[in-house]
A and B are shown apart, each in its own frame.
Chain A
């Protein structure tokens, strides 16, 4: 158990910057997920912590030790790999005890620890099997047992569930959470699946292009994204964005206006901003009773419906044209389109005129140029900006 801190860690490959001036502080016993799109530097960051890659600049500390120049074996970390990486020429027992045997533990201690670890991951009776006789889930459990048997200070997991099928993945997810409770070890977990990150972690570190975007508890990342990238990355389907500009008493975009007192923002009228609203914060006017701070009514046409069972995703076309439909998997960035989610029993059809309102308390404002968040909820900006300021001072 130990805290992990990265200070100004940079990793350059020739002219590509994989990790750019990363500063991170992971507390003892914390479960932190690194998420981000492919190539955002999350795996490289993990490799620098493991010692498999040397950072170009910066220092890494585990506990109180500066481990920047230590080889992986002396860092007190253990790792679970995406491709599982069990040694095919050893049986399960030899795989799990590999690290212990290298460290010359005596045989009784090794047996005791291997038994204990295989108990935790429920591998009893499989110790004499070869890795290729096991199923994918069992192999992954052996890899986890191999990692926990040494009582590491830090547990690194590089997309350990990516190669498992969907059902097993959900099952292993809960097992990992149970494991974290049981071991109480610092866990750093790399994934590109934000559902994994949201459900398992104490804090999520969102990375993009080698830079840390935000590190906060999952719900904070979801409700108060630090910038436009985080807002778009966390949440599925992703947030709707519309470019607009600040006007006296609100924001205006191509298709709708939002009224609010913007003086608190301390930005000049005419500044370009991006508004963001999640699909679940858009409501049909027919059942808008629940919305406390509705925006002006927006007229739109429904385009494509995607019934998901527990909800329906409705693509709204704001300029009346249809055809430029996107699926919920893609970022709905087109400003003439809004993605709305409604209850599955809502009576709604394709190519229908509807009027919707946005929940003003859930609207996010981002600086159009830097993408930084300006406000979350534009009902009472004095309130919104104050909480943001608090959040920022809390981080520092």
Chain B
């Protein structure tokens, strides 16, 4: 601090403004510059932390505040009178009530199962596709890749009506000609009607991620595995996939979270919002709302409960991602 005041008094004689002096100081003085960088780092960090964590804080505030207090809509702080979201009262029993009012655990279970199965299917199929696109050369590779890209650009809603029609068990009919092709099984209210469209929709992204990762594994490793006694498929699952762990984990986490949070398809494929019809987590949260009342505190508590499995999963997977990325660097 002493140096800065000294410099300020030194340069007070010149005509430069305060900003110009400060800028000169930052440019000329290493210590000042690193202090500025540090300050900027904290500002940026703080900004991102607040924007990402504020929703959770808001949920927590809502969950702990009794519903009647929420409905008054008064959030002013006790003494200052400033409007700021803070818990009004302490009502942790909302987290218990969540399970008493509706079987919320069943909704969580539904979403978890849907997400797990979809992730497994996506990883398997995308691995095969990623291997082919990333490591083999064949005619038509470019157009095929472009085709996958196009599917990922399709608005999912465009598939909804034909899929719903088919999953209801109605015969598939050729438009205009009226020729009946076949009668699909009735899949509504079953996981099949949700997992199939999810897998198709989330495949392109996983394929792109895995293609780039698989393409980077040296040919020699695959050749070595094949000479040592695996088939191409064996080499994919025993050598290429483990070595691409960060990519596989990324694709898995993205798919899992997307399906876990999905509501649009599953709300329609489950004909009623009950867990027996494989209604998902978001459906469960929405069932605290009925025609006349909305239990905002329960919805908030349910949201927090629903986030917990994902939180655990991401923390575990993140460790994998980080360890995968640094495996080579640390041991050298």
Asked if A133 CB lies within 8 Å of chain B CBs, one says: yes
Asked if B46 CB lies within 8 Å of chain A CBs, one says: no
B328 x A52 contact (CB < 8 A) = no
A residues within 8 A CB of B220?
81-85
Contact with B along A82-99 (1 / 0, CB 8 A): 111111110000000011
B residues within 8 A CB of A88?
243, 327-328
**Shortest Cβ gap from A148 to chain B (Å):** 12
Contact segment of B53-61, B119-127, B221-229: B221-229
The one of A81, A86, A89 in contact with B242, judged by C-beta atoms closer than 8 angstroms, is A89
**Shortest Cβ gap from A382 to chain B (Å):** 51
A85 x B328 contact (CB < 8 A) = no
Asked if B310 CB lies within 8 Å of chain A CBs, one says: no
Asked if B230 CB lies within 8 Å of chain A CBs, one says: yes
A87 x B223 contact (CB < 8 A) = no
Asked if B332 CB lies within 8 Å of chain A CBs, one says: yes
**Shortest Cβ gap from B221 to chain A (Å):** 5
A87 x B227 contact (CB < 8 A) = no
A residues within 8 A CB of B229?
73, 98-99, 102-103, 150
Asked if A122 CB lies within 8 Å of chain B CBs, one says: no
The one of A78, A83, A89, A133 in contact with B227, judged by C-beta atoms closer than 8 angstroms, is A78
Q: Quick one: which of B226, B227, B231, B328 has the most chain A CB within 10 A?
A: B227
Tier of interface size on chain A: 20 to 34
A72 x B227 contact (CB < 8 A) = yes
Complex Cα distance, B24 from A163, in Å, reads 52
Nearest residue in A to B223 (C-beta to C-beta)? A52
Complex Cα distance, B327 from A130, in Å, reads 11
Nearest residue in A to B239 (C-beta to C-beta)? A87
B231 x A73 contact (CB < 8 A) = yes
The one of B230, B328, B331, B332 in contact with A102, judged by C-beta atoms closer than 8 angstroms, is B230
Nearest residue in B to A50 (C-beta to C-beta)? B227
A71 x B231 contact (CB < 8 A) = yes
Complex Cα distance, B327 from A50, in Å, reads 31
A residues within 8 A CB of B218?
83, 85
* In the complex, chain A residues 111-152 whose Cβ is within 8 Å of any chain B Cβ: 130, 132-133, 146, 150
* In the complex, chain A residues 57-91 whose Cβ is within 8 Å of any chain B Cβ: 71-73, 77-79, 81-89
Given contacts A81-B220, A85-B220, A89-B242, contact A52 B226 (CB under 8 A): yes
A89 x B231 contact (CB < 8 A) = no
Asked if B234 CB lies within 8 Å of chain A CBs, one says: yes
Complex Cα distance, B226 from A50, in Å, reads 10
**Shortest Cβ gap from B7 to chain A (Å):** 50
B residues within 8 A CB of A72?
223, 226-227
B residues within 8 A CB of A133?
331-332
B residues within 8 A CB of A150?
228-229
Complex Cα distance, B226 from A85, in Å, reads 12
A85 x B221 contact (CB < 8 A) = yes
B228 x A78 contact (CB < 8 A) = yes
**Shortest Cβ gap from A70 to chain B (Å):** 12
The one of B226, B242, B331, B332 in contact with A71, judged by C-beta atoms closer than 8 angstroms, is B226
**Shortest Cβ gap from B218 to chain A (Å):** 6
A87 x B226 contact (CB < 8 A) = no
Given contacts A73-B229, A73-B231, contact A132 B332 (CB under 8 A): yes
B residues within 8 A CB of A84?
220
Given contacts A71-B231, A99-B229, A102-B234, contact A81 B328 (CB under 8 A): no
A residues within 8 A CB of B221?
85, 87
B225 x A81 contact (CB < 8 A) = no
A102 x B223 contact (CB < 8 A) = no
Nearest residue in A to B217 (C-beta to C-beta)? A88
B227 x A79 contact (CB < 8 A) = yes
Complex Cα distance, B225 from A245, in Å, reads 56
B228 x A73 contact (CB < 8 A) = yes
* In the complex, chain B residues 305-332 whose Cβ is within 8 Å of any chain A Cβ: 327-328, 331-332
A130 x B331 contact (CB < 8 A) = yes
B residues within 8 A CB of A103?
229
**Shortest Cβ gap from B220 to chain A (Å):** 4
* In the complex, chain B residues 260-316 whose Cβ is within 8 Å of any chain A Cβ: none
Contact with A along B95-118 (1 / 0, CB 8 A): 000000000000000000000000
A146 x B223 contact (CB < 8 A) = no
**Shortest Cβ gap from B110 to chain A (Å):** 35
Q: Quick one: which of B223, B224, B328, B331 has the most chain A CB within 10 A?
A: B224
Given contacts A71-B231, A89-B242, contact A132 B226 (CB under 8 A): no
**Shortest Cβ gap from A160 to chain B (Å):** 12
A residues within 8 A CB of B224?
79, 81, 85-87, 146
B residues within 8 A CB of A130?
331
B226 x A89 contact (CB < 8 A) = no
Given contacts A87-B239, A130-B331, A132-B332, contact A98 B228 (CB under 8 A): yes
B residues within 8 A CB of A87?
221, 224-225, 239, 243
Q: Quick one: which of B226, B229, B243 has the most chain A CB within 10 A?
A: B229
Q: Quick one: which of B225, B242, B327 has the most chain A CB within 10 A?
A: B225
Complex Cα distance, B233 from A227, in Å, reads 45
Complex Cα distance, B328 from A156, in Å, reads 28
B residues within 8 A CB of A86?
224
**Shortest Cβ gap from B169 to chain A (Å):** 44
B228 x A102 contact (CB < 8 A) = yes
Complex Cα distance, B221 from A88, in Å, reads 9
Nearest residue in A to B329 (C-beta to C-beta)? A132
B228 x A146 contact (CB < 8 A) = yes
The one of B231, B234, B242, B328 in contact with A132, judged by C-beta atoms closer than 8 angstroms, is B328
The one of A81, A98, A132 in contact with B223, judged by C-beta atoms closer than 8 angstroms, is A81
B residues within 8 A CB of A98?
225, 228-229
Complex Cα distance, B227 from A53, in Å, reads 12
Nearest residue in B to A75 (C-beta to C-beta)? B227
Other CB < 8 Å A-B pairs besides A79-B223, A79-B227, A89-B243, 20 of them? A50-B223, A50-B227, A51-B227, A52-B223, A52-B226, A52-B227, A72-B223, A73-B229, A73-B230, A81-B220, A85-B218, A85-B223, A87-B225, A98-B229, A99-B228, A102-B229, A130-B331, A132-B332, A150-B228, A156-B227
Chain B interfacial positions (CB closer than 8 Å to A): 218, 220-221, 223-231, 234, 239, 242-243, 327-328, 331-332
List 27 contacting pairs A-B, 8 Å CB cutoff, sorted by A.
A50-B223, A51-B226, A52-B223, A52-B227, A72-B227, A73-B227, A73-B228, A73-B230, A73-B231, A79-B227, A81-B223, A81-B224, A82-B220, A85-B218, A87-B224, A87-B225, A88-B243, A88-B327, A88-B328, A89-B239, A99-B228, A102-B230, A102-B234, A132-B332, A146-B228, A150-B229, A156-B227
Shortest Cβ-Cβ A-B pairs, 3 listed: A85-B220, A99-B228, A102-B229
